[in-house]
């Protein structure tokens, strides 16, 4: 489901880098694994264990008034993608065992997570340039309904404007999926 909608020259959902663990330096005052989910006191800084740049991810979600399995079954079917993510592709077909779609960026290839019992809807988008973007997506039970979450990763060099545009595009797609599933 990643793309730039033809407006951001940096690729699908302009996205970003993956997350890694944070470590504590005994002298530097950095945080430990156990402190990851606590609010940092004033003056405490975080650093990436694997590199020096802290990525920015935004988790974009919507509640859907349908059971998680219903949402999962719809979203996991690649042929439904043009219905709820028309900015990504207007058609999709399986060719030689691969999912290929026509998009504003040209012909793209999509690889979807295997069907699973955990609501994982991750998918990779490979652009005509050969560059591949990983797009984490989940559906989880939420009371009588479900929550659909897409993690938009901001890559280095992506402007604030492009990142906001991509976030708005992701939200529009999730809301389209919500409307379709709730009306079925």
Quick one: pLDDT at residue 55?
A: 61
Ordered by start, the domain boundaries in the chain are: 20-54, 56-183
Per-residue 3-state assignment (H helix, E strand, C coil) for the chain: CCCCCCCCCCCCCCCCCCCCCCCCCCCCCCCCHHHCCCCCCCCCCCCCCCCCCCCEEEEEEEEECCCHHHHHHHHCCHHHHHHHCCCCCCEEEEECCEEEEEECCEEEEEEECCCCCCCECCEEEECCCCCEEEECEEEEEECCEEEEEEEEEECCCCCHHHHHHHHHHHHHHHHHHHHHHHHC
pLDDT digits (tens, 9 = 90+) for 25-37: 334 444 333 433 4
pLDDT digits (tens, 9 = 90+) for 56-78: 899 999 999 999 999 999 999 99
pLDDT digits (tens, 9 = 90+) for 120-179: 999 999 999 999 999 999 999 999 999 999 999 998 889 999 999 999 999 999 999 999
| pLDDT above 80: residue 1 | no
Quick one: pLDDT at residue 25?
A: 37
Quick one: pLDDT at residue 155?
A: 85
Quick one: pLDDT at residue 87?
A: 87
pLDDT digits (tens, 9 = 90+) for 67-106: 999 999 999 999 999 999 998 999 999 999 999 999 999 9
pLDDT digits (tens, 9 = 90+) for 121-138: 999 999 999 999 999 999
Multiple choice CATH, 56-183, 3.40.50.300, 3.30.10.20, 3.30.530.20, 3.40.50.12780: 3.30.530.20
- Kindly list the distances between the CA atom of residue 20 and the CA atoms of 17, 55, 60, in Å, as whole numbers in the listed order: 10, 9, 20
């Amino acid at each position: 489901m990643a793309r730039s909608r033809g407006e951001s020259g940096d690729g699908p959902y302009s996205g970003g880098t993956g997350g890694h663990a944070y470590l504590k330096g005994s002298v530097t005052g950095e945080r430990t694994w156990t402190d990851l989910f606590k609010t940092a006191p004033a003056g405490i800084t975080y650093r990436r264990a694997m590199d020096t740049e802290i990525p920015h991810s935004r988790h974009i979600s919507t509640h859907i008034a349908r059971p998680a399995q219903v949402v999962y079954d719809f979203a996991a079917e690649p042929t439904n993608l043009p219905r709820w993510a028309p900015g990504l592709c207007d058609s999709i077909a399986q060719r030689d065992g691969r999912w290929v779609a026509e998009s504003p960026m040209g012909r793209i290839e999509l690889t979807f997570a295997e069907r699973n019992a955990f609501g994982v809807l991750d998918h990779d988008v490979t652009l005509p340039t050969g560059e591949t973007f990983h797009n984490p997506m989940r559906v989880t039970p939420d009371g009588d309904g479900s929550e659909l979450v897409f993690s938009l990763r901001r890559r280095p060099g992506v402007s604030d404007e492009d990142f906001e545009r991509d976030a708005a595009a992701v939200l529009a797609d999730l809301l389209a999926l919500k409307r379709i599933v709730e009306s079925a």
